[in-house]
């Protein structure tokens, strides 16, 4: 049985199923392992991770804790409450036809080339010409305005080889979309997009063999990785043209509300609104992307996992983020009340609990059928989502083709 317990209850002999936090915020790459090394126990306790999942069928148990069923019920209640609570000054994001995906696919390629060029310049020790990024940011803002989900969904499909560059594009896109949900406007949104695009420039100083290492980082390598916000901040300062907002997000996007982040161990009100936004967007894209050492999490499961990381994110910012990507993000595999499985293809502004879903599989007959698009918001449709399914538990190999419009397929 899976059980979530406080980290201080961990003992040697327990089987760790999952660490409650982004894997990029601690030096552990194995998500599941028998805790039989005192050194590993010390590292977990010193990492700032507050809770872990243990598998009591494969290791020692402990009194108390939260069962998997209890955690699922609690998270679903919290997410429903999040999307039901009005966001101050927020406005619904427009969602227009699928034609935007074709433009978004082209924009993704252009943005990737721009970020690659910036990293190449940084690795050569040259001063970054960041002002040239603003037209690209403007294009991204335009895409998000026309269809808030198109670009964000596309950049999530990056391969592990593309991660370093497209992660910056994804965070830029998510920052712009989140800013709109929060009711921010004008130059502030533009600077937030630029901050997302530049937030990880410090990684240009990290050797690629460390950046793309498939195994667990050594203590020395982890210490090196944690320098990237400071190095990026130094690069942007040397440029002289970066705004205080961009500099702040670059330096502070790994800070946490409980003070366990880095590089400054800031907490709560010490962390700016913009850096809090950067923290959420950075982690979401990291955990939903393929990495050399970790398979991507499903988008819907990622939202639910992040909801359990108490002390990591600003609750109000996270609520707004859930409204931005949806309680069931595009591409999420869901189970319906009828027993059918489907993939979310589009959000519904009126209610994020009733998106458009393309159903294609019956769990009663365990057979596929011709895909059928359902708009769960329509009165004539009585079916409802009962939960998120993990794609890894099924053998479907074409989920992306089910939700990705033909216009975006290259």
> How far apart (Å, rounded) are the C-alpha atoms in residues 166 and 183?
26
Q: What is the pLDDT of residue 160?
A: 83
Residues 162 and 255 in one domain: yes
> How far apart (Å, rounded) are the C-alpha atoms in residues 141 and 271?
25
Structural domain includes residue 84:
no
Residues 144 and 232 in one domain: yes
Residue-level pLDDT, tens digit, the chain, 410 residues: 899 999 999 999 999 988 887 665 665 656 688 999 998 899 888 877 888 999 999 999 999 999 888 988 888 888 888 888 776 555 545 555 567 888 899 999 999 999 999 999 999 998 888 888 999 999 999 999 988 888 998 898 888 888 989 999 999 999 999 999 999 999 999 999 999 999 999 999 999 899 888 877 888 998 999 999 999 999 999 988 899 999 999 999 999 999 989 999 999 999 999 999 999 999 999 999 988 777 888 899 999 989 998 899 999 999 999 999 999 999 999 999 999 999 999 888 778 899 999 999 999 999 999 999 999 999 999 999 999 998 888 988 888 899 887 767 65
Residue that is last in its domain, among 266, 296, 325? 325
Q: What is the pLDDT of residue 22?
A: 60
Helix (H, G, I), strand (E, B) or coil at 409: coil
Structural domain includes residue 404:
yes
Q: What is the CATH number of the domain that holds 314?
A: 1.10.3210.10
Residues 179 and 317 in one domain: yes
- Sheet of 33-34, strand order: 33-34, 15-19, 51-55, 2-6, 66-67
Q: What is the pLDDT of residue 410?
A: 58
Residues 252 and 365 in one domain: no
Structural domain includes residue 38:
yes
DSSP 8-state code for residue 256: -
Residues 134 and 188 in one domain: yes
Structural domain includes residue 70:
no
Q: What is the pLDDT of residues 76-106, one digit of tens each?
A: 888 888 888 776 555 545 555 567 888 899 9
Q: Are 150 and 170 in contact (CB under 8 A)?
A: no
Q: What is the pLDDT of residue 231?
A: 97
Structural domain includes residue 76:
no
Q: Are 178 and 285 in contact (CB under 8 A)?
A: no
Residues 163 and 196 in one domain: yes
Residue that is last in its domain, among 43, 64, 85? 64
Q: What is the pLDDT of residues 279-289, one digit of tens each?
A: 999 999 999 99
Residues 192 and 340 in one domain: no
pTM over 0.75: yes
H or E segment and range at residue 144: helix 134-146
> How far apart (Å, rounded) are the C-alpha atoms in residues 18 and 28?
10
Structural domain includes residue 92:
no
Domain count, the chain: 3
Structural domain includes residue 80:
no
Residues 255 and 311 in one domain: yes
Residues 156 and 60 in one domain: no
Domain that holds residue 56: 2-64
Helix (H, G, I), strand (E, B) or coil at 42: helix
CA-closest candidate to residue 95, choices 317, 323, 281, 409: 323
Residues 365 and 236 in one domain: no
In the structure encoding, which two tokens stand for residue 369, read together?
A: 């059928």
């Amino acid at each position: 049985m899976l059980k979530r317990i406080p980290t201080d209850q961990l003992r040697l002999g327990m089987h760790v199923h999952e660490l409650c936090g982004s894997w990029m915020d601690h030096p552990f790459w194995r998500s599941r392992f028998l805790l039989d090394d005192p050194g590993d126990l010390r590292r977990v306790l010193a990492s700032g991770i507050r809770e872990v999942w243990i598998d009591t069928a494969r290791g020692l148990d402990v009194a108390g804790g939260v069962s998997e069923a209890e955690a699922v019920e609690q998270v679903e209640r919290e997410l429903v409450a999040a999307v039901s609570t009005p966001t101050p000054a927020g406005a619904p994001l427009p969602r227009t036809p699928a034609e935007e995906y074709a433009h978004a696919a082209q924009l993704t390629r252009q943005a990737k080339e721009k970020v690659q060029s910036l990293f190449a310049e940084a690795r050569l020790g040259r001063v970054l010409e960041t002002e040239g990024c603003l037209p690209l940011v403007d294009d991204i803002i335009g895409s998000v305005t026309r269809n808030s989900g198109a670009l964000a969904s596309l950049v999530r499909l990056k391969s592990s080889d593309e991660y370093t560059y497209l992660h910056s594009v994804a965070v830029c896109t998510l920052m712009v979309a989140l800013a709109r949900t929060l009711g921010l406007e004008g130059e502030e949104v533009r600077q937030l997009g630029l901050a997302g695009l530049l937030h990880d420039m410090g990684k240009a100083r990290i050797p690629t063999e460390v950046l793309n290492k498939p195994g667990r980082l050594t203590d020395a390598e982890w210490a090196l990785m944690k320098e990237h916000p400071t190095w990026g901040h130094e690069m942007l300062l040397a440029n002289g043209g970066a705004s205080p907002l961009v500099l702040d997000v670059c330096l502070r996007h790994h800070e946490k509300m409980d003070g366990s982040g880095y590089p400054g161990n800031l907490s709560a009100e010490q962390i700016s609104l913009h850096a809090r936004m950067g923290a959420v967007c950075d982690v979401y894209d990291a955990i939903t992307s393929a990495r050399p050492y970790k398979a991507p999490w499903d988008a819907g499961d990622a939202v639910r996992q992040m909801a359990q990381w108490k002390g990591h994110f600003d609750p109000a910012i996270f609520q707004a983020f859930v409204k931005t990507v949806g309680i069931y993000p595009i591409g999420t595999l869901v189970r319906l009340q009828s027993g059918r499985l489907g993939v979310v293809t589009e959000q519904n502004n009126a209610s994020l609990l009733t998106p458009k879903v393309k159903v294609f599989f019956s769990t009663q007959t365990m057979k596929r059928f011709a895909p059928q698009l359902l708009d769960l918001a329509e009165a004539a449709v009585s079916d409802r989502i009962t939960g998120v399914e993990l794609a890894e538990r099924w053998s479907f190999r074409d989920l992306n083709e089910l939700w990705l419009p033909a216009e975006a397929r290259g």
